[in-house]
Amino acid sequence: MKNLKLFVLVIIALVGLSFAANAETMFLASDDFVGITFWLISMGMLAATAFFFMERSSVSVRWRSSITVAGLITGIAFINYMYMRGIWVQTGDTKTLYRYIDWLITIPLQMVEFYLILAAIRKVPSGIFWRLLIGSLVMVIGGYLGEAGYLPSRMLGFIIAMAGWIYLLYEIFSGEAGRAAAKSGNKAFVTAFSALRMIVTVGWSIYPLGYVFGYLMGSIDINSLNVIYNLVDFVNKIAFGLVIWSVAMSLTGTRSK
Protein backbone atom coordinates (compact mmCIF):
# COMPACT_ATOMS: atom_id res chain seq x y z
CA MET A 1 0.00 0.00 0.00
CA LYS A 2 2.88 2.35 0.82
CA ASN A 3 4.41 1.71 -2.61
CA LEU A 4 1.06 2.32 -4.30
CA LYS A 5 0.61 5.67 -2.53
CA LEU A 6 4.13 6.72 -3.49
CA PHE A 7 3.50 5.68 -7.10
CA VAL A 8 0.29 7.73 -7.27
CA LEU A 9 1.97 10.78 -5.73
CA VAL A 10 4.92 10.60 -8.15
CA ILE A 11 2.63 10.28 -11.18
CA ILE A 12 0.38 13.14 -10.06
CA ALA A 13 3.35 15.41 -9.33
CA LEU A 14 5.16 14.73 -12.60
CA VAL A 15 2.09 14.89 -14.81
CA GLY A 16 0.94 18.06 -13.05
CA LEU A 17 4.32 19.70 -13.61
CA SER A 18 4.38 18.60 -17.23
CA PHE A 19 0.92 20.11 -17.87
CA ALA A 20 2.02 23.35 -16.25
CA ALA A 21 5.04 23.44 -18.56
CA ASN A 22 2.87 22.75 -21.61
CA ALA A 23 -0.24 24.79 -20.92
CA GLU A 24 -0.49 25.92 -24.54
CA THR A 25 0.82 22.81 -26.29
CA MET A 26 -0.67 22.04 -29.72
CA PHE A 27 -1.43 18.54 -30.98
CA LEU A 28 1.43 16.41 -32.26
CA ALA A 29 1.19 15.67 -35.98
CA SER A 30 1.09 11.97 -36.85
CA ASP A 31 3.92 12.35 -39.38
CA ASP A 32 6.16 14.39 -37.08
CA PHE A 33 8.92 11.84 -36.44
CA VAL A 34 11.03 14.20 -34.33
CA GLY A 35 8.01 15.12 -32.21
CA ILE A 36 7.17 11.44 -31.77
CA THR A 37 10.65 10.74 -30.41
CA PHE A 38 10.15 13.56 -27.90
CA TRP A 39 6.89 11.93 -26.85
CA LEU A 40 8.39 8.43 -26.57
CA ILE A 41 11.32 9.58 -24.47
CA SER A 42 8.94 11.55 -22.22
CA MET A 43 6.83 8.46 -21.56
CA GLY A 44 9.93 6.35 -21.00
CA MET A 45 11.28 8.82 -18.46
CA LEU A 46 7.91 8.93 -16.67
CA ALA A 47 7.70 5.15 -16.49
CA ALA A 48 11.30 4.88 -15.26
CA THR A 49 10.71 7.51 -12.58
CA ALA A 50 7.64 5.72 -11.25
CA PHE A 51 9.52 2.42 -11.30
CA PHE A 52 12.55 3.71 -9.38
CA PHE A 53 10.49 5.35 -6.66
CA MET A 54 8.31 2.26 -6.28
CA GLU A 55 11.36 0.00 -6.07
CA ARG A 56 13.12 2.23 -3.54
CA SER A 57 11.68 0.29 -0.60
CA SER A 58 12.66 -3.05 -2.16
CA VAL A 59 16.39 -2.49 -1.68
CA SER A 60 18.43 -2.26 1.50
CA VAL A 61 18.75 1.08 3.25
CA ARG A 62 22.29 1.59 1.95
CA TRP A 63 21.06 1.58 -1.65
CA ARG A 64 18.01 3.79 -1.26
CA SER A 65 19.86 7.05 -1.87
CA SER A 66 21.13 5.70 -5.20
CA ILE A 67 17.68 4.54 -6.30
CA THR A 68 16.17 7.86 -5.22
CA VAL A 69 18.72 9.80 -7.26
CA ALA A 70 18.05 7.53 -10.26
CA GLY A 71 14.37 8.48 -9.99
CA LEU A 72 15.22 12.17 -9.68
CA ILE A 73 17.34 11.99 -12.83
CA THR A 74 14.58 10.50 -14.97
CA GLY A 75 11.93 12.70 -13.32
CA ILE A 76 13.81 15.90 -14.12
CA ALA A 77 14.41 14.66 -17.66
CA PHE A 78 10.69 13.87 -18.06
CA ILE A 79 9.61 17.39 -17.13
CA ASN A 80 12.20 18.98 -19.41
CA TYR A 81 11.34 16.68 -22.31
CA MET A 82 7.68 17.58 -22.02
CA TYR A 83 8.68 21.23 -22.14
CA MET A 84 10.91 20.68 -25.19
CA ARG A 85 8.21 18.65 -26.90
CA GLY A 86 5.78 21.54 -26.42
CA ILE A 87 8.23 23.99 -27.96
CA TRP A 88 8.87 21.63 -30.87
CA VAL A 89 5.16 21.16 -31.63
CA GLN A 90 4.49 24.91 -31.50
CA THR A 91 7.58 26.20 -33.34
CA GLY A 92 9.11 23.23 -35.19
CA ASP A 93 12.43 23.97 -33.51
CA THR A 94 13.97 22.98 -30.18
CA LYS A 95 17.40 24.39 -29.55
CA THR A 96 20.01 22.17 -27.90
CA LEU A 97 20.48 24.92 -25.32
CA TYR A 98 17.16 23.87 -23.75
CA ARG A 99 18.74 20.50 -23.00
CA TYR A 100 21.24 22.16 -20.71
CA ILE A 101 18.39 22.90 -18.29
CA ASP A 102 18.22 19.12 -17.84
CA TRP A 103 21.93 18.34 -18.20
CA LEU A 104 23.04 20.95 -15.65
CA ILE A 105 21.19 18.94 -12.98
CA THR A 106 21.07 15.35 -14.20
CA ILE A 107 24.66 14.90 -15.38
CA PRO A 108 26.18 15.92 -12.01
CA LEU A 109 23.63 13.64 -10.33
CA GLN A 110 24.69 10.75 -12.55
CA MET A 111 28.34 11.27 -11.66
CA VAL A 112 27.48 11.52 -7.95
CA GLU A 113 25.84 8.11 -8.35
CA PHE A 114 29.32 6.59 -8.65
CA TYR A 115 30.09 7.90 -5.18
CA LEU A 116 26.73 6.76 -3.77
CA ILE A 117 27.04 3.19 -5.02
CA LEU A 118 30.61 2.98 -3.71
CA ALA A 119 29.41 4.29 -0.34
CA ALA A 120 26.74 1.57 -0.31
CA ILE A 121 29.33 -1.20 -0.15
CA ARG A 122 32.36 0.35 1.57
CA LYS A 123 33.64 3.48 3.23
CA VAL A 124 34.89 5.99 0.66
CA PRO A 125 36.46 9.46 1.09
CA SER A 126 34.26 12.48 0.42
CA GLY A 127 36.89 13.78 -2.00
CA ILE A 128 35.50 11.38 -4.63
CA PHE A 129 32.10 13.04 -4.33
CA TRP A 130 33.48 16.55 -4.79
CA ARG A 131 35.78 15.66 -7.68
CA LEU A 132 32.98 13.97 -9.58
CA LEU A 133 30.58 16.83 -8.90
CA ILE A 134 33.00 19.59 -9.87
CA GLY A 135 34.27 17.72 -12.94
CA SER A 136 30.73 17.21 -14.22
CA LEU A 137 29.84 20.87 -13.66
CA VAL A 138 32.94 21.98 -15.57
CA MET A 139 31.94 19.73 -18.45
CA VAL A 140 28.32 20.88 -18.66
CA ILE A 141 28.90 24.58 -17.97
CA GLY A 142 31.78 24.68 -20.46
CA GLY A 143 29.56 23.21 -23.17
CA TYR A 144 26.72 25.57 -22.36
CA LEU A 145 28.88 28.70 -22.39
CA GLY A 146 30.30 27.66 -25.76
CA GLU A 147 26.96 26.90 -27.41
CA ALA A 148 25.25 29.97 -25.93
CA GLY A 149 27.99 32.26 -27.24
CA TYR A 150 29.26 33.50 -23.88
CA LEU A 151 32.84 32.54 -24.75
CA PRO A 152 35.07 34.04 -27.47
CA SER A 153 34.55 30.90 -29.54
CA ARG A 154 32.52 27.71 -29.47
CA MET A 155 35.76 25.75 -29.76
CA LEU A 156 36.87 27.08 -26.36
CA GLY A 157 33.65 25.81 -24.82
CA PHE A 158 34.21 22.45 -26.47
CA ILE A 159 37.76 22.24 -25.08
CA ILE A 160 36.57 23.05 -21.54
CA ALA A 161 33.77 20.49 -21.77
CA MET A 162 36.12 17.81 -23.12
CA ALA A 163 38.62 18.52 -20.33
CA GLY A 164 35.88 17.96 -17.76
CA TRP A 165 34.74 14.74 -19.43
CA ILE A 166 38.27 13.35 -19.74
CA TYR A 167 38.89 14.08 -16.08
CA LEU A 168 35.69 12.24 -15.13
CA LEU A 169 36.74 9.23 -17.19
CA TYR A 170 40.12 9.24 -15.47
CA GLU A 171 38.49 9.36 -12.04
CA ILE A 172 36.12 6.43 -12.63
CA PHE A 173 38.66 4.30 -14.50
CA SER A 174 42.06 4.99 -12.97
CA GLY A 175 41.39 7.52 -10.23
CA GLU A 176 40.35 6.94 -6.63
CA ALA A 177 36.79 5.96 -7.59
CA GLY A 178 38.02 3.36 -10.07
CA ARG A 179 40.51 1.92 -7.60
CA ALA A 180 37.88 1.76 -4.85
CA ALA A 181 35.54 -0.20 -7.14
CA ALA A 182 38.30 -2.64 -8.08
CA LYS A 183 39.05 -3.27 -4.40
CA SER A 184 35.43 -3.87 -3.47
CA GLY A 185 35.83 -7.62 -3.87
CA ASN A 186 32.26 -7.98 -5.14
CA LYS A 187 31.91 -9.36 -8.65
CA ALA A 188 28.33 -8.16 -9.17
CA PHE A 189 29.26 -4.65 -8.07
CA VAL A 190 32.38 -4.51 -10.25
CA THR A 191 30.34 -5.63 -13.26
CA ALA A 192 27.71 -2.95 -12.63
CA PHE A 193 30.36 -0.29 -12.07
CA SER A 194 31.98 -1.25 -15.38
CA ALA A 195 28.61 -1.02 -17.15
CA LEU A 196 28.07 2.48 -15.77
CA ARG A 197 31.55 3.48 -16.92
CA MET A 198 30.76 2.25 -20.43
CA ILE A 199 27.60 4.38 -20.51
CA VAL A 200 29.61 7.45 -19.49
CA THR A 201 32.30 6.58 -22.07
CA VAL A 202 30.37 5.35 -25.10
CA GLY A 203 26.91 6.80 -24.49
CA TRP A 204 28.15 10.23 -23.52
CA SER A 205 30.53 10.38 -26.51
CA ILE A 206 27.49 11.22 -28.67
CA TYR A 207 27.18 14.63 -27.00
CA PRO A 208 30.62 16.00 -28.00
CA LEU A 209 30.20 14.45 -31.45
CA GLY A 210 26.90 16.31 -31.78
CA TYR A 211 28.63 19.49 -30.62
CA VAL A 212 31.35 19.09 -33.26
CA PHE A 213 29.23 18.04 -36.24
CA GLY A 214 26.13 20.04 -35.30
CA TYR A 215 27.61 23.33 -34.13
CA LEU A 216 31.29 23.59 -34.98
CA MET A 217 30.98 22.09 -38.48
CA GLY A 218 27.24 22.47 -39.15
CA SER A 219 27.11 19.16 -41.01
CA ILE A 220 24.09 17.75 -39.12
CA ASP A 221 20.68 19.40 -39.29
CA ILE A 222 18.81 20.19 -36.09
CA ASN A 223 16.10 17.58 -36.77
CA SER A 224 18.58 14.71 -36.97
CA LEU A 225 20.45 16.04 -33.94
CA ASN A 226 17.25 16.13 -31.89
CA VAL A 227 16.39 12.52 -32.79
CA ILE A 228 19.92 11.35 -31.95
CA TYR A 229 19.99 13.19 -28.63
CA ASN A 230 16.52 11.89 -27.72
CA LEU A 231 17.44 8.25 -28.33
CA VAL A 232 20.82 8.59 -26.60
CA ASP A 233 19.24 10.23 -23.55
CA PHE A 234 16.80 7.31 -23.36
CA VAL A 235 19.72 4.90 -22.91
CA ASN A 236 22.06 7.12 -20.93
CA LYS A 237 19.52 7.97 -18.24
CA ILE A 238 17.14 5.02 -18.03
CA ALA A 239 19.71 2.25 -18.58
CA PHE A 240 22.04 3.99 -16.15
CA GLY A 241 19.39 3.83 -13.43
CA LEU A 242 18.42 0.25 -14.25
CA VAL A 243 22.02 -0.91 -13.84
CA ILE A 244 22.08 0.62 -10.35
CA TRP A 245 18.70 -0.90 -9.50
CA SER A 246 19.87 -4.33 -10.71
CA VAL A 247 23.01 -4.42 -8.57
CA ALA A 248 21.11 -2.98 -5.61
CA MET A 249 18.54 -5.80 -5.86
CA SER A 250 21.29 -8.38 -6.31
CA LEU A 251 23.24 -7.29 -3.25
CA THR A 252 20.08 -6.77 -1.19
CA GLY A 253 19.14 -10.37 -1.93
CA THR A 254 22.62 -11.55 -0.98
CA ARG A 255 22.55 -9.72 2.34
CA SER A 256 19.10 -11.09 3.21
CA LYS A 257 20.17 -14.72 2.77
Which pLDDT value is given to residue 34?
87
The amino acid that residue 185 corresponds to is G
DSSP 115-180: HHHHHHHS---HHHHHHHHHHHHHHHHHHHHHHHT-SS-HHHHHHHHHHHHHHHHHHHHTSHHHHH
Which pLDDT value is given to residue 256?
45
SS3 category, 219: coil
Which pLDDT value is given to residue 23?
43
Which pLDDT value is given to residue 96?
78
What is the rounded distance in angstroms from the CA atom of residue 65 to the CA atom of residue 69?
6
Q: What is the CB neighbour count within 10 angstroms for residue 117?
A: 27
Burial 224-247 (b: 16+ CB within 10 A, else e): ebbebbbebbbebbbebbebbbeb
Q: Model-level pTM?
A: 0.87
Which pLDDT value is given to residue 60?
93
Question: Do 101 and 118 contact (CB within 8 A), yes or no?
Answer: no
Q: Which CATH class name applies to 2-256?
A: mainly alpha
Condensed to tens digits (0 to 9), the pLDDT of residues 188-213 reads 999 999 999 999 999 999 888 888 87
Which pLDDT value is given to residue 87?
86
Domain ranges of the chain: 2-256
Mean pLDDT, 10 residues at a time, over the chain (257 residues)?
54 53 57 85 94 94 95 95 87 82 95 96 94 97 90 91 96 96 91 96 89 74 84 92 96 63
What is the rounded distance in angstroms from the CA atom of residue 191 to the CA atom of residue 155?
36
